[in-house]
Chains A and B, each alone.
Chain A
Amino acid sequence: MALLQIAEPGQSPMPHQLKRAIGIDLGTTNSLVATLRGGRPVALPDEAGSVMLPSVVNYSSGSARVGETAVALAAQCPADTLMSIKRFMGRGSEDAASDAARSHYQLAAGSEGLVRFSTSAGDLSPIEVSADILRELRERAVATVGGEIDGAVITVPAYFDEAQRQATKDAATLAGLKVLRLLNEPTAAAVAYGLDSAEEGVIAIYDLGGGTFDISILRLYEGVFEVLATGGDTALGGDDLDGAIAEWVLQQSDAPELAAGQYRQLLAASRRAKEQLSEVDRIALDLTEVLPSGGSITVSRETLETLIQPMIKRTLRACRQCLRDAGIEGGVDNVVMVGGSTRVPLVREAVGDFFGRSPLTDIDPDQVVAMGAAIQADILIGNRPEGDLLLLDVIPLSLGLETMGSMVEKIVPRNTTIPVSRAQEFTTYKDGQTALALHIVQGEREMVSDCRSLAHFELRGIPPMVAGAARILVTFQVDADGLLNVEAREETTGAQASITVKPSFGLSDDQITEMLQASFKFADEDMQSRQLAEQRLSAWQLLEGLKSALEADGDALLSTAERDELSDQMTLLQALIESDDADAIRQKTDALGRRSEAFATRRMDRSIREALAGVSLDALDEEAEQ
């Protein structure tokens, strides 16, 4: 039960109180949570003082154990210990089968579409497993900052597609986090460095993580971070290097087929070897627990470099493409290294040579992403004054529609700045055609079969006309999270259909709600008090926002009657806010929100007018009022 807050009459009980915002780097190998303290981002440690949480979850006891505890159980119960789960996010089971076999996971039988792992805690999707990791980080943050978290920014690889982004957002929702924004990892890193140096110019972010490689080129100018281009490879990272070392060891020692537990041991030993070889020239890799013959094998830095060379080459190829896409003249001013794998000296050397700049490594490459996310979370939650830095990000992969002959018509090309709205006109190809099937795809290739299928939907109710007479306007809208919404409208009749693209391999909103409710981590009471707290917060946010809006523009933009009506509604909500009735607060908040829409529209119109030097924007008004 919360203490009663005493406020002065007419004042909010939370006047300019800082809200609790966190940034989370949900990594393939390790995850971190950071927040702002005294204006600086800090990664939050666990009780043992460690900031990195291994992204490993063990389910052998029937419930989730996350982090080091799970790592310790990996060899003992391989099928119940899920690692590198990020690689499976948003992927179909068919697509993921070979990866799963390599990791010795058991895919649940009969799971079509969405991947599910068979564990002692039941069949689990990668989304649920990721939610367990996020929940652990949320709890860590709650314990450290001393209260429920108001909002979080979760980072994703820039190269994540639509399905992978949606899966990440769903996992955060499942973990009870309010997602302020999905932020691209390299952009987050740039924010951390940008805040640090405030140096203007072009920055390349080379991010070689556990499972993914991203390259982004950004420009920081007048407080605005503009992502110029982004590229990468979602299936390339430090894990692959561990795998390459393990394979090499097996080749060298002529080993028989390993059991799942032994392979895990070998992978772990390979990773340690890789890490140590950043410091020393050669190490002995102990095989006692791995091979029946036991013994050890010497791995030299030279061997490691031979194994890593093809990987580096692949990353540099992506860098070259990205530089071309960015279309900059005169090269980059700074190169920032992100991800544990960039500790490998050969990687630093190769990247430095490529860009002709020695890479920046001042901020810990493992923590920089979480720190940038924390800064952005702090901005988005409203803890910082206006005029703070702004991020303009891009979509990493082209979005399009299937057309005749299984070809792809690109509607939004890759590296387009978001949010974006693009419309294209299509028509019917048969006389009397009354429906149109739309297939939304993502990717750069020309054939549908080479691209990622995102969703199917149908526009019905087209009046029968001769072929080619119907005018069907298809609009793709991508929001600031990089999530897509598609709308189709037949222009002559107004027949309409729209879809918020839910990837084929994700969870439906109903499933998420169900899981949230079923989640044993949330006791019923706990859940209710959380809901109440959330409702109160959104009521306060609305009231506070309206108060200052009324003060600033109430006289100018509202009639006395309109103003009085709003004030009455605000008083009603204000009176209700300390009650324990979450439903009533929500209803009243929604009602007030609806009543204030016209005011909000007028204010925004005015600010666009002011920002854009006063032009006639009647068309915008019309749109806004629809």
Chain B
Amino acid sequence: MFEAEFQRNYFELFDLPIDFAVDQQQLGARYRQAQGELHPDRYAGASAHEQRLAVQYSALVNQAYATLRTPLSRAIYLLELRGISQQELTSQPVDGGFLMMQMELREKLETSMDLVDPEPVLEHLIAEISQDIAAEQARFGGSWSAGDLPRASSACVKMQYLDKLLREAEQTEANLLEN
């Protein structure tokens, strides 16, 4: 019960409007302010009970901050607030055109390693994925504001796909730099 009750309040916790657009500076400032009051370090000399409470509160504030800070987790969280669970998101059908594009990008990533000079190809690929992510984020923001949940959900699923791909591409690039 605690989980469900509280999760509704991540935005309210930092006194921010429930929206996809978040003022990062304000979020950061509120976060530091909250930890300044609640962190277990502030209760190092207190009773065991107070210390336990401080750990719980502080963990909660960390969780809220981590969720709101990055666009993808923020989007997933917003949908969750509207009753769309992660499972429902994953089981959503994705349009064929997007999947084809994903496969193409993935193939480019895989074949890039066989190239003599894979670096520029990888860099281009990463830029391309990043652009797609920005586009989906914009689509999510617009749909959310318009109250179009199905469209927002579809954008969120695509953000998940692209995020995974981006991380793989960055890892590939990292491995390349090491060798």
Which residues of A does B touch, CB under 8 Å? 151, 180-181, 221-224, 226, 317, 320-321, 324, 379-382, 386-387, 390-392, 416-423, 477, 479-480, 541-542, 545, 593-594, 596-597, 600-601, 604, 607-608, 610-620, 622-624
Which residues B37-69 have CB closer than 8 A to chain A? 37-42, 44-50, 53-63, 65-66
Rank and list the top 8 A-B pairs by shortest CB-CB distance, nearest first.
Answer: A619-B5, A613-B15, A380-B44, A611-B37, A421-B59, A480-B40, A419-B59, A619-B6
Please report the C-alpha to C-alpha distance between residue A600 and residue B47 in the assembled complex, in whole angstroms.
Answer: 9
Please, which residues of chain A bring their CB within 8 A of the CB of B36?
A: 223-224, 387, 390, 611
Residues of A within 8 A of B116 (CB): none
Nearest chain-A residue to B48 (Cβ)? A593
B177 within 8 A of A: yes
**Cβ 8 A contact of A421, one of B32, B60, B178:** B60
A620 touches which one: B32, B37, B57 (CB < 8 A)?
A: B57
- With A317-B178, A622-B1 given, can you name 9 additional A-B contacts, CB distance below 8 Å? A221-B28, A224-B32, A417-B65, A421-B56, A480-B40, A480-B58, A597-B49, A600-B50, A604-B57
Residues of B contacting A618 with CB < 8 Å?
5
Whether B53 contacts A600 by the Cβ 8 Å rule is yes
Task: Tell me, yes or no, whether B3 is within 8 Å of chain A by CB.
Answer: yes
Q: Is the CB of B45 within 8 A of A380?
A: yes
Q: Contacts A320-B174, A417-B66 given: A477-B47 contact, CB under 8 Å?
A: no
- Tell me if A596 and B47 are in contact (CB < 8 A): yes
Q: Summarize B's interface: helix, strand, loop or mixed.
A: helix
- Interface residue count for B (Cβ, 8 Å)? 48
The distance in angstroms between the C-alpha atoms of A392 and B32, with both chains bound, is 9
A541 and B6 CA atoms in complex are apart in Å by 33
Kindly list chain B residues whose C-beta atoms are within 8 Å of the C-beta of A386.
42
Say if the beta carbon of B148 comes within 8 Å of chain A. no
Q: What are 26 A-B pairs at a CB distance below 8 A? A: A221-B28, A223-B32, A226-B32, A324-B174, A382-B45, A390-B39, A391-B41, A392-B35, A419-B55, A419-B58, A421-B63, A423-B3, A479-B55, A480-B55, A480-B58, A542-B47, A593-B47, A601-B49, A601-B53, A604-B50, A608-B38, A612-B33, A612-B34, A613-B30, A618-B5, A622-B5
Residues of B within 8 Å of A421, CB to CB, are 56, 59-60, 63
Q: Is the CB of B40 within 8 A of A479?
A: yes
Chain B contacts for A617, CB-based, 8 A: 9
From B28, B49, B170, B174, contact of A600 by CB (8 A) = B49
Q: Considering the chains assembled together, what is the distance between the CA atoms of A419 and B53 in angstroms?
A: 11
Cβ contact within 8 Å between A420 and B63? yes
Query: Are B9 and A320 in contact (CB-based, < 8 A)?
Result: no
Are B44's CB and A419's CB within 8 A? no
Partner of B54, one of A542, A597, A604: A604
Q: Is the CB of B32 within 8 A of A180?
A: no
Of A380, A604, A615, A623, the residue contacting B12 (CB under 8 A) is A615
Q: Does B29 make an interface contact (CB < 8 A)?
A: yes
- Point out the residues of chain A lying under 8 angstroms from B89, CB to CB: none
Q: Which of A151, A480, A612 contacts B39 (CB 8 A)?
A: A480
